[in-house]
A = this chain, B = another copy of it.
């Protein structure tokens, strides 16, 4: 337990998280550093580990921690095992001689109160109750068990996550609830009410190259609740962007205020399930949430500056925009692509989503005219069709983007290409060439560039586009596979920045 002494004690004095009855902060206020037992415990006990190593490896918590490379000490607890996956096992939590930061409780619901009691006696700081079978069942026994938990937690200093949840994912410490998640930490803090949906969202985001600082699935929330984690994310320097997936909240006022706190400094994207009557009914049986009306939520999004998304896929693409784009200072887009008809549709789409497609300045048009052959249909207006050479992609492509970026009336650029148009040049080579040009040109640009590659239905083109998206992601260029998605996500991000800077201006005036 040598790592233990780098921890400070969980602060017990009343903090500024006013709605938190116990006033114990997740964030240590004295050191200025965030060191915590929720996301970075030095030791984890797994209560209810299986003696069957194969079973434990395929879906047990000890198996997860071992496979994912948890960096602290692991204490498997099982009364009938001497060792589990090569780790010394203990019959009960109290029989462990060392002190332990964090316990995962994976026993049947009816056994949970006794185990939690033992954890409290042992002086464990944070308990994650994975077990389901509490209030969410809608049954009397479940409700009684949950009430017992509340009682225990309220009369102790322990902090409890759950019950009925997946708990913590923290790449840095090696805690996870799915071994497929990326081991590389990143800038996104993720708060998820639902376990399965949250897991899928992380998985989709990882596939898209997005990385997380911390994620939490918090279930029935008898103690630690959404706003606790939001306040944590707001203060956490490792978290620069926040993603939320909720179906409902208990304390609307506190949730609202925690969101405001987050959006003051960090973009927040929220997927809200149960906005409709049918959806709300389903949410009630899914997570026992009070979903609230669409109107109430729309108002909340507007007043907090939260970016609202409506599907897992949209959430992921929105995060690609949020993570990769800097503060875009206006809504004036320069469109660069091939195909006059597609350009027209792209311009329509931009304006339908609140972006503007202004005419270029005369100097810009002059410069573009020099590199654009006067073919029928081609144009030096905005959208501009850059003349394409024999190799498929003109040597003027990058230059065209640079010229458009130099126009003072343009705030950012969207470029769109359809790889199927270039299949006869060899799709691998073409993709290689284009991605090379994009990486190069981005370095020289003072304005944000957003890239769209249309995927079509060819498996090899699809694969190439996935590769180029990964490359773009590494280079910090948002790369989408539909114009619609590009335009929507960028517009929503700009709305956030308008909210944020409008907000700061108000505060400045208030001083």
Contacts and interface: CB of A to CB of B under 8 A. Distances in A.
A283 interface: yes
Interface residues of A: mostly helix, strand, loop or mixed?
A: helix
A381 B312 contact: no
A345 B312 contact: yes
Contacts of A200: 339, 342, 418
Interface stretch (A13-21, A132-140, A171-179): A132-140
A189 to B, nearest CB: 19
A358 B278 contact: yes
Given A164-B376, A286-B343, A341-B194, A351 B277 contact: yes
B137 A271 contact: no
B466 A348 contact: no
B348 A273 contact: yes
B342 A379 contact: no
A343 B382 contact: no
A364 to B, nearest CB: 15
Given A282-B379, A282-B381, A459-B462, A276 B348 contact: yes
Nearest to A109: B376
A23 interface: no
Nearest to A341: B197
Contacts of A351: 275-279
Nearest to A454: B313
A347 B276 contact: yes
Given A310-B349, A312-B342, A344-B282, A456 B275 contact: no
A352 interface: yes
A237 interface: no
A502 interface: no
Interface in A192-209: 194, 196-198, 200, 203-204, 207-208
Given A276-B357, A356-B278, A344 B286 contact: yes
A33 B44 CA distance: 81
A273 B341 contact: yes
A247 interface: yes
Contacts of A245: 341
A104 to B, nearest CB: 18
A451 interface: no
Given A137-B376, A286-B379, A344 B466 contact: no
Contacts of A194: 340-341
A274 interface: yes
Interface in A435-482: 454, 456-457, 459, 462-463, 466, 482
A351 B273 CA distance: 12
Nearest to A466: B457
A285 interface: yes
A184 interface: no
Nearest to A482: B313
Given A200-B418, A278-B347, A457 B286 contact: no
A194 B341 CA distance: 7
Nearest to A315: B345
Contacts of A164: 376
Contacts of A482: 311, 313
Interface string A392-425: 0000000000000000000000000010100000
21 contacts: A132-B376, A133-B376, A204-B456, A204-B457, A207-B456, A208-B457, A273-B341, A277-B351, A278-B347, A278-B383, A279-B347, A279-B357, A281-B381, A282-B357, A282-B383, A283-B344, A286-B340, A286-B377, A286-B379, A312-B345, A314-B484
Which A-B residue pairs are the 10 nearest by beta carbons? A278-B357, A197-B341, A276-B351, A273-B344, A279-B347, A279-B348, A286-B340, A278-B347, A194-B341, A459-B463
